[in-house]
Amino acid sequence: MFAPDRLTLGIFLPLRSFKGDMSVLQGQADLVTEMDGQGFAAVWVRDVPLFDPSFGDAGQVFDPFAYLSYLAARTTKLALATGSAIVSLRHPIDVAKAAATIDQLSGGRLVMGVASGDRPLEFPAYGLAHAARADRFAQAISYLRQLLQSGHLDISSPLGRFEGAELLPQPVSARIPLMVTGSSGQSLAWIAENADGWLTYPNATHTPRGPQHLAEKIRAWRALIPGGAFRPHMTNEWIDLVDDPAYPRTPLHGGHVLRTGRKGLIALLEEWQAAGVNHAALGIQFSQRPPAEVLEELAREVLPHFPSHEGVPAACVTW
């Protein structure tokens, strides 16, 4: 999924937007199984505990950890990524237990994007203060890191404490990568010190200075990483891929969706790769064409320019 100076592609779920009818999600897992053999690097699921109609987006509907377990049983290669788990709402023990379970069941394929949450309605629903989410996020990450260590643990945190117990199961490898989303209320230095990677939004990369701004942001973050170690940067885009390959890149809905042909998409991904992005997660739920048709074109025409790293001699991340 990650290597220096290289970009891979993943897909954000859902493949079609939920509009009140669960039938719109039928067949989605079958398409994810097909993606597993097409060369995509990852499949991403969002964490939206409650649908707030005023927010206007139900996310991917299913519980992220339950659904990733289901997808783990239907795939063998895809990285299984949360984009992102709202750890400010969930207790670290429950997050760590679910994450380590999926990691074991999938053979070590879990990549966990984490975030502080952006939907004010959810926090009082959990009995939590929305204004305290940044502090709770930092506390939850620290607790998670400790829980995912092997052996008997003594943990004292504002979120809980215990002595002489152990979390089971343990992850397949040394640790589950935690990818901080946006700022999550933290400083750039904190993210450089504590994150295994950074997931940020494009921030108007469709403007003339957009790619340059993105590159500057990535360089500033990497300059703060202890020891200069490689850690991946990720970004995402919701696209409406039209069947005209030369259709120009056209921002829609205030820039939240990009309508484009594949040539424009390839050019955008090349700009991101040059800026230092290592993985691009594409959402196709707003596409006018059927999801299977869009995925087939991406696999046939776009993925060869940005292959995943199976069998490719490239440096990789050591967590």
CB atoms inside a 10 Å sphere around CB 59: 21
Q: Where is pLDDT greater, at 319 or 200?
A: 200
Q: Rounded distance, CA 193 to CA 281, Å?
A: 24
Pick the closest to residue 287 from 267, 259, 268 (CA basis). Answer: 259
pLDDT > 70: percent of the chain: 95
Q: Where is pLDDT greater, at 73 or 208?
A: 73
Q: Rounded distance, CA 150 to CA 173, Å?
A: 11
What's the pLDDT band for 124 if we cut at 50, 70, 90?
very high
Q: What is the pLDDT of residues 185-234, one digit of tens each?
A: 999 999 999 999 999 987 655 666 788 999 999 999 999 999 999 999 99
Is residue 118 scored above 90 in pLDDT?
Answer: no
Residue 172, pLDDT score:
95
Instruction: Give the mean pLDDT of 177-192.
Output: 97
- In this structure, are residues 240 and 247 in contact, taking their beta carbons and an 8 Å threshold? no
Phi-psi region of 82 (alpha: psi -120 to 50; beta: other; left: phi over 0): beta
